[in-house]
């Protein structure tokens, strides 16, 4: 059963569209990331689910109930805001208890549930502190505890890690994921951070300009993008234009300025279609010029233009035939330097042919 259903949801502010005909379903217990650049409609969508914005058109269903016009307090949603929205004059315990008090829960039950949730989020013993006395991570856990203590049907997170430093942000990604699995709560998570979405989500919905571009597992969105816009937004990629010469058994042979390249391809592509080949930098290997290719591998000759050390990897710009510069990422111990003649090798499955602008 779908726990959250967005049915042809549209939101306009005056004449300006923010979300356009968005349909999305979240299964019970699933974590879905709404991912996209700033201004794409992510937070507006979240606010419509929470009841803070009214759709211009379409419906919001929570557990099969149409709550499109219902106020926030009737939706049983737990929400964590980007700035956490903690009350500075209340202690951690008081902040967490606030939602229960608004629901007129008995005081003894409030104390029990608050103590229980503080233990689960790692804040036991800190209930008497005020938000200003907490670290960023502790404030974030307090906001999570406040959202979870009311036993919500769904959890809504609006870029909750945006205010944390890089190391803490990485730690909290895994913490939120483990907490979500423990509570088995359906979660809609808004972020512009691609790594965050790929690490956390069961499925990723990519929004651009208020329009849903792709919805699927992180692996599929990353390795099998449906458009050049998605391929370019998710991670890094090399986009090589070409035209399908032949196709068979799920693969296509593409005429490009680099020569013939064999790739995996969208089943809808036909011979003669204009395409773009998306090849991720980490899926390319630098090998010795003249090295024998493995079965089915594509091999391109080139020259290293630039090498950059990035700590955990080395990043190369390689000039190959046809005046194309490919970005290649490999081991930081790689010995190739600027000016070296190399070959760039990649398996057919590492290249994905997607429709070009005119196909």
pLDDT (0 to 100) of residue 252: 94
Distance (Å, whole) CA 118 – CA 96: 9
Q: Are 135 and 163 in contact (CB under 8 A)?
A: no
Average pLDDT on 234-240 reads: 93
Strand order in the sheet with 297-309: 285-287, 341-347, 297-309, 314-320, 324-330
Buried b (16+ CB within 10 A) or exposed e, 311-340: eebbbbbbbbeeebebbbbbeeebebeeee
| Class for the domain spanning 2-228 | alpha beta
Q: Are 296 and 348 in contact (CB under 8 A)?
A: yes
Pairing of strands 274-279, 238-248: antiparallel
pLDDT (0 to 100) of residue 168: 87
Give residue-wise pLDDT tens across range 311-335: 889 999 999 987 899 999 999 888 8
pLDDT (0 to 100) of residue 84: 87
Distance (Å, whole) CA 329 – CA 166: 22
| Class for the domain spanning 236-355 | mainly beta
Helix axes 136-148, 166-183, angle to 10 degrees: 20
Average pLDDT on 173-191 reads: 93
Name the segment(s) of the chain with CATH classification 3.40.50.300. 2-228
Label residue 359 by pLDDT band (50, 70, 90): very low
Q: For residue 180, give both structure tokens.
A: 């979500």
pLDDT at residue 146 is higher than 80: yes
Query: Hey, which bits of the chain come out as E strands?
Result: 2-13, 16-27, 31-35, 57-62, 65-66, 77-80, 154-158, 186-191, 203-208, 211-216, 238-248, 251-256, 259-265, 274-279, 285-287, 297-309, 314-320, 324-330, 341-347, 351-355
Give residue-wise pLDDT tens across range 284-313: 999 888 766 676 689 999 999 999 999 889
SS3 345: strand
Q: Are 49 and 41 in contact (CB under 8 A)?
A: no
Backbone dihedral region of 125: left (phi > 0), alpha (psi from -120 to 50 degrees) or beta? left
SS3 185: coil
Judged on CB neighbours under 10 Å (0-12, 13-18, 19+), 38 is: exposed
The candidate with the shortest Cα–Cα distance to 344, out of 305, 297, 278, is 297
Name the segment(s) of the chain with CATH classification 2.40.50.100. 236-355
pLDDT (0 to 100) of residue 51: 96
Give residue-wise pLDDT tens across range 17-76: 999 999 999 999 999 999 999 999 999 999 999 999 999 999 999 988 999 999 998 999
The greatest distance separating any two alpha carbons of the chain, rounded to the nearest whole angstrom, comes to 77
């Amino acid at each position: 059963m779908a726990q959250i259903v967005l049915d042809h949801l549209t939101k306009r502010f005056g004449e300006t569209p923010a979300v356009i005909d968005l349909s999305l379903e979240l299964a019970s217990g699933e974590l879905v990331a709404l991912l996209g650049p700033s201004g794409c409609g992510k937070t507006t969508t979240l606010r419509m689910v929470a009841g803070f914005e009214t759709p211009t058109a379409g419906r919001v269903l929570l557990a099969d109930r149409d709550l499109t016009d219902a106020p926030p307090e009737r939706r049983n949603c737990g929400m964590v805001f980007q700035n956490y929205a903690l009350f500075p004059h209340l202690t951690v315990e008081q902040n967490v208890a606030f939602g229960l008090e608004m629901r007129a829960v008995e005081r003894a039950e409030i104390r029990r549930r608050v103590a229980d949730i503080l233990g689960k989020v790692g804040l036991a013993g800190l209930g008497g502190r005020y938000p200003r006395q907490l670290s960023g991570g502790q404030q974030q856990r307090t906001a999570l505890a406040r959202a979870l203590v009311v036993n919500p049907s769904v959890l809504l997170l609006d870029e909750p890690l945006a205010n944390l430093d890089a190391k803490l942000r990485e730690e909290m990604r895994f913490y939120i994921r483990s907490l979500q699995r423990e509570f088995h709560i359906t979660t809609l998570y808004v972020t512009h951070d691609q790594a965050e979405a790929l690490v956390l989500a069961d499925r990723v919905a990519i929004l651009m300009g208020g329009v849903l571009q792709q919805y699927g597992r992180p692996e599929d969105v990353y390795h099998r993008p449906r458009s050049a816009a998605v391929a370019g937004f998710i991670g890094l990629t090399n986009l090589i234009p070409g035209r399908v010469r032949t196709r068979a058994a799920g693969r296509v042979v593409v005429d490009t300025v680099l020569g013939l390249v064999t790739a995996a391809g969208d089943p809808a592509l036909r011979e003669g279609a204009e395409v773009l080949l998306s090849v991720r930098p980490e899926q390319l290997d630098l090998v010795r010029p003249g090295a024998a290719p493995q079965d089915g591998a594509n091999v391109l000759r080139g020259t290293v233009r630039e090498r950059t050390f990035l700590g955990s990897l080395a990043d190369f710009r390689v000039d190959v035939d046809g005046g194309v510069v490919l970005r290649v990422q490999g081991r930081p111990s790689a010995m190739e330097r600027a000016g070296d003649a190399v070959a760039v090798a990649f398996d057919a499955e590492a290249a994905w042919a997607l429709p070009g602008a005119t196909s």
